[in-house]
Structure 1
């Protein structure tokens, strides 16, 4: 049982590192008080700059990948650890211990974690995310639709743990985007200039 606790807590702490907030602070901006108030790449892109937004996206994705990779290697004989680690790192990003359990919406970190677990679904989703973002300019719409498709791809897997993980992560993503979804339906959601 101790290995489950270590993997979950370790992944949560890694996920809690608020790269967007740190990058913005280095520029003298508190991203939690600007724009949407979110610490993710989209808000950093809007209120700090394109380079900073891209760096936030990359680092948030990498922390998801790193958490799953590290704990999968440490506990390579335990088939459940990668899934627990993926959940832990996304929860850490969404509810950062360093920001009083407030955080981002977990899109990049979710893709980073699932990239290790089921690359086909993750890569497919990321490609669709880019396409929808470029066409619609709605970051939230791109995230919701693309990972929904990733989840459909994962559901076709023979591995029930893959199916459960993707469904849980998609449910969490929808919850974190509930305000965006409401704004999309009311046509009040902000677009992103690319």
Structure 2
């Protein structure tokens, strides 16, 4: 039963879509009607500016951390409970009941979940993801790659139950990214050149 309770706790906190909260209270706009129409960090940042994107990201990171900490203390660091909680946050974030099950894609949530579960492996996975973003100039494939890799790592080191839960979360993210995945393989994916953006900022500051 502890897995069910952990999943429900995670789902409850996952329902707090900070893209919608930022949109309502700070922007007074509905982010699902702008840009990609996805209520997530990337769309908020792209349409309304990086400041609001950062606020959204920190909010999603915080809700994930709070849910995981609660479960950690409730079930005394039980690894399967932490895994189930993370899956719950992903589900709540991706399919929030109050927003007609229309949510985000879970990138920030998955990042916090991985680092909380195993901070060393989690950070390595995120660094690999960042390198892939720089090389591929794409924001769709890297998070899926690091989630698959981390899932395999968890399966090997923490047991198949935890690894399977992480793989389920990866499948949820794949479903949410399904259109972006198709666009990527058809050559129509949105390109994001991180290095060029950084160089431009450095150039502006230097001038």
Q: Same fold (TM over 0.5)?
A: yes
* Equivalent in the alignment of 2:9: 10
**Please, which runs of 5 or more residues in structure 1 have no aligned partner?**
none
Q: Confirm or deny that 1:42 pairs with 2:48.
A: no
CA deviation after TM superposition for structure 1 residue 5, in Å: 4.4
Between 114-123 and 176-185, the greater mean CA deviation after superposition = 114-123
CA distance in 2 between partners of 1:126 and 1:98 (Å):
30
* Equivalent in the alignment of 2:166: 166
Q: Are the counterparts in 2 of residues 7 and 84 from structure 1 also a CA contact under 8 Å?
A: yes
- The number of aligned residues is 193
**Please, which runs of 5 or more residues in structure 2 have no aligned partner?**
198-207
CA distance in 2 between partners of 1:170 and 1:115 (Å):
16
* Equivalent in the alignment of 1:85: 85
Q: Are the counterparts in 2 of residues 63 and 112 from structure 1 also a CA contact under 8 Å?
A: no
* Equivalent in the alignment of 1:69: 69
Matches within 5 A, 1:1-194: 1=1, 3-25=2-24, 26-76=26-76, 80-192=80-192, 194=197
CA distance in 2 between partners of 1:188 and 1:80 (Å):
39
Q: Are the counterparts in 2 of residues 67 and 113 from structure 1 also a CA contact under 8 Å?
A: no
Q: Are the counterparts in 1 of residues 83 and 165 from structure 2 also a CA contact under 8 Å?
A: yes
CA distance in 2 between partners of 1:113 and 1:20 (Å):
19
Between 37-46 and 78-87, the greater mean CA deviation after superposition = 78-87
Structure of larger gyration radius: 2
| Structure 1 outlier segments of 4+, above 6 Å | none
RMSD after superposition: 2.1
TM-score of the pair, normalised by structure 2: 0.83
Q: Are the counterparts in 1 of residues 79 and 162 from structure 2 also a CA contact under 8 Å?
A: no
Deviations, residues 14-67 of structure 1 (Å, cap 9, x unaligned): 011010121123213311011111111111111111121122222212322221
Q: Are the counterparts in 1 of residues 151 and 166 from structure 2 also a CA contact under 8 Å?
A: yes
TM-score of the pair, normalised by structure 1: 0.88
- Relative to structure 1, is the Cα distance of residues 78 and 130 closer, same or farther in structure 2, using a 3 angstrom cutoff? closer
CA deviation after TM superposition for structure 1 residue 86, in Å: 1.3
CA deviation after TM superposition for structure 1 residue 153, in Å: 2.9
Q: Are the counterparts in 1 of residues 151 and 164 from structure 2 also a CA contact under 8 Å?
A: no
Deviations, residues 44-103 of structure 1 (Å, cap 9, x unaligned): 111111121122222212322221121120222755322221111111001012211110
